[in-house]
Structure 1
Amino acid sequence: MFTVDKNARAEHTEELVPSRYALQVGEIDVLVVSDGVLPLPTSTMATNATKADLSAWLDHMFMPQEAFDWPLNVLVARSGEQIILVDTGLGSQFSGFPRAGQFPARLKAAGIDLAAVTDVVITHMHMDHVGGLLAEGVKEQLRPDVRIHVAAAEVEFWDAPDFTQTVMPTPVPNVLRSTAASFLKEYRSNLHIFQDRHEVAPGVVVRLTGGHTPGHSVVDLASEGELLTFAGDAMFPVAFDHPEWHNGFEHDPVESERVRVGLFRELARNGGLLVASHLPFPSVGRVAIDGDAFRWVPVIWDF
């Protein structure tokens, strides 16, 4: 199990809510870390739903009508001698998001040295998944030979990204383009590009799903009969009740719906744990089928 450095813990006592959650998947140590929250308009939750239907769902969930805090979760896994980051959060280079971009500091507070990281898996190249690698001082702390795993379809997509099916706040597409370009410029020599499926470490497999972006991928952990899937942006909180509702950040909404439903059914069938980038922290739970919809069953925290 991941251990917490006592000095780092002492330096981090000002946080009043937990920002990391540790668990084990067989022999694989896992740490879910909150990168913070990102405020977004609620309209991005369901671009193909009526305003009345979305409003009713928000009321049902005791959520505000105009804007909501989008959770940002990343994952650390230790398998054998390898320490793997799965996504890296928003980073600190974006003004206006003071509660996001916490991942590097929170990783340090957990006693995990960036220099010990052997591999990074990028589920997709949106700014809230690669931005942490662009934060000041991060690259200097990483080992020069760190392996960054990303799907070939994702790298190809960001050469000329298509936003025609997205419904994002106006400034976002340009920021996504520039962040992806900066990431590729800074880390191209570290990229380990895979096609459909790749074993990153024993029991740690990244596989292409597409949908949210053409190269969107999920990460499966499997050890001693236990399973966990880090699903990236394949689903959002509203998706359990309404898997057919499209998110404004999906580059192919119809394919995203197909991928989402497929993953839900797979998780309901195999009983594995689910962690996703934008489910409420620590985002660890299971999926059950509930008629035409699905049910999210959070784990009971193990203290």
Structure 2
Amino acid sequence: MNLYNPSHATTPATDELVPSRYALKVGEIDVLVISDGILPLPTETMTTNVAPAARAAWFDHMFLGPDMFDWPLNVAVVRSGDRTILIDGGLGKEFPGFPRAGQLVHRLEAAGIGLASVTDIVITHMHMDHVGGLIGDGVKERLRPDVRIHVAAAEVKFWEAPDFSRTVMPAAVPPVLRSCATRFANEYCSQLRTFDETVEVAPGVVVRRTGGHTPGHSVVDLASGGARLTFAGDAIFPVGFDHPDWQNGFEHDPEEAVRVRVRLLQDVAASGALLVATHLPFPSVCRVAIDGDAFRCVPVIWDF
């Protein structure tokens, strides 16, 4: 059964002039990548351990910047067996400074996916652009009471007393991250299913803690019929292919995040798996090639 069922889809908003969902199969597993919108962010948050001139040169080379850029925000829905799994919850509408993000709920509905059909939710980490969409008005009430929310135990523990000492964020961001994570943990405490290192959520769907970006940051590995896909969360950003050693201002352990990023890109390149990540340009589905000490993102050709 295909995850996307047009016969049950509502009419998309008339102002949506570009595609906001992309369906593919990984063996017998259905995957739908959905854009939650974009976040405008300062370019300096993308590269905090390099000279401003080097950062500016990269953004200019990518026709971005120089001061602000649009950061994509992707989530995914996976169907394996009788489980329908939402990977991350997007930003939601709680943050008025980001009017072009927080699109998940109505885009799920436009794809014919009701919140009540979701059996499991995987949280790659508890930053507000990954859990904010779950704490909006009426969202919890529309989810099934027995929904299982999978998140690393280390992540939940970290947000009890988060350490921002090694991050480089706009001053207003850490308090919002903290309050959002706390609210999410409190509202969904009875549905949380924590794990230490790995958990199989459904046949061929394994969540794996990597750490780095946050202590409990996790990725989702899909495997079926010889095909593979990794949803990498925030382990990889657009600049990470060309410069995997460039640190991101939202990384709580920048050095470990670099090690995680390099290992993940090496593994995906070796296995030939597809890669999807939260902040790569939608739909972000690509393969990874090794290019000397760096990597190349090779986008897949859209299949209609």
TM-score, normalised to structure 1, is 0.98
| 3-state DSSP of counterpart to 1:24 | strand
Counterpart position of 2:265: 264
Counterpart position of 1:192: 193
| 3-state DSSP of counterpart to 2:219 | strand
Counterpart position of 1:89: 90
Post-superposition offset of 1:13: 4.3
Q: Map 1:52-91 onto structure 2 (within 5 A).
A: 52-91=53-92
Counterpart position of 2:229: 228
Post-superposition offset of 1:14: 3.5
Matched letter for residue 199 of structure 1: E
Matched letter for residue 248 of structure 1: G
Matched letter for residue 87 of structure 1: D
Matched letter for residue 20 of structure 1: R
Matched, 1:176 2:174: no
Counterpart position of 2:37: 36
Distance 1:200 1:157 in 2: 23
Q: Map 1:269-284 onto structure 2 (within 5 A).
A: 269-284=270-285
Post-superposition offset of 1:64: 1.7
Matched letter for residue 195 of structure 1: D
Post-superposition offset of 1:137: 1.4
Counterpart position of 2:218: 217
Distance 1:251 1:3 in 2: 36
Counterpart position of 2:16: 15
Post-superposition offset of 1:15: 1.2
Distance 1:272 1:55 in 2: 32
Matched letter for residue 274 of structure 2: L
Counterpart position of 2:159: 158
Counterpart position of 1:101: 102
Distance 2:262 2:142 in 1: 39
| 3-state DSSP of counterpart to 1:297 | strand
Post-superposition offset of 1:45: 0.6
Per-residue deviation, residues 273-292 of structure 1 (Å, max 9, x unmatched):
00000000000001000011
Shift of the 92–27 alpha-carbon distance from structure 1 to 2, 3 Å rule, reads: same
- Counting aligned pairs with the same residue, the percent is 70
Per-residue deviation, residues 147-200 of structure 1 (Å, max 9, x unmatched):
000001001000000000000011000000000000011000000010000000
Counterpart position of 1:167: 168
Counterpart position of 1:296: 297
- Please list every run of 5 or more consecutive structure 2 residues that lacks an aligned counterpart in the other structure: none
| 3-state DSSP of counterpart to 2:188 | helix
Matched letter for residue 91 of structure 2: L
Matched letter for residue 163 of structure 1: F
Matched, 1:49 2:50: yes
Post-superposition offset of 1:11: 4.5
Distance 1:298 1:226 in 2: 17
| 3-state DSSP of counterpart to 1:184 | helix
Distance 2:4 2:133 in 1: 22
| 3-state DSSP of counterpart to 1:188 | coil
Distance 1:241 1:5 in 2: 38
Matched letter for residue 244 of structure 1: D
After the TM superposition, which parts of structure 1 deviate over 6 Å for at least 4 consecutive aligned residues? none
Distance 1:231 1:149 in 2: 15
Contact in 1 for aligned 2:85/2:120 (Cα 8 Å): yes
Post-superposition offset of 1:7: 6.1
Count residues in correspondence.
303
Distance 1:59 1:185 in 2: 43
Per-residue deviation, residues 52-94 of structure 1 (Å, max 9, x unmatched):
1011111111112000011000010000110000001001111
TM-score, normalised to structure 2, is 0.98
- Please list every run of 5 or more consecutive structure 1 residues that lacks an aligned counterpart in the other structure: none
